[in-house]
Amino acid sequence: MKKIITYGTFDLFHKGHYNILKRAKEYGDYLIVGVTGVNYDIGRGKLNVHDTLATRIENVKNTGFADEIIVEEYLGQKIEDIIKYNIDTFVIGDDWKGKFDHLSRYCDVVYLERTKGISSTQIRKKTFEQYTIGIICGDYADDNQIINESELVNEFEVKNIYCEDKKILNLFQQKFNLENIYTSMSKLIEASDVIYVRSTITKRFDAIYHSLKCGKHVIYDPPATFKPSELKELFKLSKENKAILMENNKMVYIYVFNQLLWMTQGGLIGDILSFNCSISKTDENRSNLFYDLSAISLLPMLKIMGLNYDHANFKVKKNGSDIEFASMHFVYPNGLAIINVGNNIRVDNHVEIIGTKGTIRMKDNWWRVKNFELHNPQSTDVQVYNTNFEGNGFKYLLKSLSTMIENNRIEPMGVFEDESMKIVEILEQVKNNES
């Protein structure tokens, strides 16, 4: 019996898929079809898959060509499958020509001609709504990688830019060359479906307020404001106008961070005794950078240690009105959290979470959470949890936004309202140097 294996995502099942399965089956007697698993696709940056795994399997099954269907869950699985199922021939469309030649040590490799003029990508583009993103730029010409990252999420395209400062706008356009430049903020808001508010903190509230007022979804760099009452107003406006208000804290949309949360919140490292986190950047051009860095660092603390600490103490070093460094101490009923933030004062970037049954550590650019280490106090074993992706993770936030839009959901579940509120409350206190 000649055994054949082929793989694919088989999203939005189409004629090209049908044809390749038919021809693969004709190549032998027994056909195994590997359908890509959700995490495998996310891991390799294929974020646009629309159908659930169950639907994709069902569609392959309905062709009647597959004798067996398996799930492809990780990179490198193909070799194991070929050995395990004793495969004679590996079949794949010729869009992959040459890419699987290394499998010929294990079985025959055949590239079949791809059906012309059709693909899942093409169907997705035609079927699903596309949203235009407009950026409200702040006092530095930087897009935080949203332009590149949005290219990996079908539903979005960054087309519009507005910047109050003409010099910054010119610099921005030299770098990114977006389709439409707006000289009025309200015109940009009008012309966009989603607004990315990247203004400096003192101007964020205004930009977010006007965008929500026009019913536009908003992604904003946190904190939105220094005033809790203003943030409250924005949440209210978001609900009234059915517009999503999404904090740009990409970490919470990255798979491995949710593993970390699961471990800490689910008691897998025991009771948490200590949360220690440091972050610093040296970026002369950005005023108020301290608050942006603090917002990023306070979120994991609040998620892991909770919102209800007994009291807090802040040691703040100022340079004029700008904060250069702050050590924020939070005393919880059963533990202590220390957040050190340096703006132009360098501190070692890291997170350490000590529990009664283990310690978790993250290093370097920990806010992009590509990996964390789990140390077991009873042994020298270190387990590393990781997720591989290129870029800064903006695509995962955008993907989450597109799912929310599709499901008519207004409140994001990455960062909860009470968490955002608490962060603004803390920063207001730090700003006023209270403890």
Contact residues toward ligand CTP (CB under 6 A) are 8-11, 16-17, 20, 92-93, 95, 114-115, 118-121
Of 109 and 245, nearer to ligand CTP (C-beta) is 109
The position carrying tokens 């025991």 is 270
Please report which helix (H) or strand (E) contains residue 404, including its range: helix 394-406
Tokens 């209800």 locate to 308
CB-wise, 11 or 193, nearer to ligand CTP? 11
Least distance in Å: CB of 407 to ligand CTP?
Answer: 22
Q: Rounded to the nearest whole angstrom, what is the least distance from the CB of residue 115 to ligand CTP in the complex?
A: 4
C-alpha 314/C-alpha 362 separation (Å) is: 24
Closer of 95 and 240 to ligand CTP (Cβ): 95
CA distance 296 to 317: 19
> CB of residue 125 vs ligand CTP: minimum separation in angstroms?
10
Cβ proximity to ligand CTP, 69 vs 191, nearer residue = 69
Measured from each CB, the residue nearest to ligand CTP is 93
**Cα–chain center distance at 118:** 29
Q: Are 124 and 12 in contact (CB under 8 A)?
A: yes
CB of 126 to ligand CTP, least distance (A): 12
Closest approach of ligand CTP to the CB of residue 435, in Å: 54
Q: For residues 108 and 230, which CB has a smaller minimum distance to ligand CTP in the complex? A: 108
Residue 75: CB minimum distance to ligand CTP, A? 16
Q: Residue 144 and residue 223: Cα distance in Å, rounded?
A: 16
172 within 8 A of 161, measured Cβ to Cβ: yes
DSSP string of 30-61, one letter each residue: EEEEEEE-HHHHHHTT-----S-HHHHHHHHH
Q: How far is the CB of 23 from ligand CTP (least distance, A)?
A: 9
Residue 219 CA to residue 222 CA, distance in Å, equals 9
Find where tokens 């021809």 sit. 23
Q: Which residues pair with 34 in a beta bridge?
A: 7, 70
CB 103 within 8 A of CB 90: yes
Tokens of 83: 């050995």
Residue closer to ligand CTP by CB (options 114, 431) is: 114
Report the C-alpha gap between 267 and 357 in whole angstroms.
Answer: 9
**Closer by beta carbon to ligand CTP, 110 or else 345:** 110
CA quadruple 176, 178, 181, 187: dihedral sign: negative
Report in angstroms how near the CB of residue 113 gets to ligand CTP at its nearest.
7
Report, in Å, the least distance between residue 129 CB and ligand CTP.
Answer: 18
Is 6 or 387 the residue whose CB approaches ligand CTP more closely? 6
Could you tell me the two tokens for 161?
Answer: 């830019």
Reference 306, options 271, 341, 340; nearest CA is 271
Cβ proximity to ligand CTP: between 11 and 221 the closer is 11
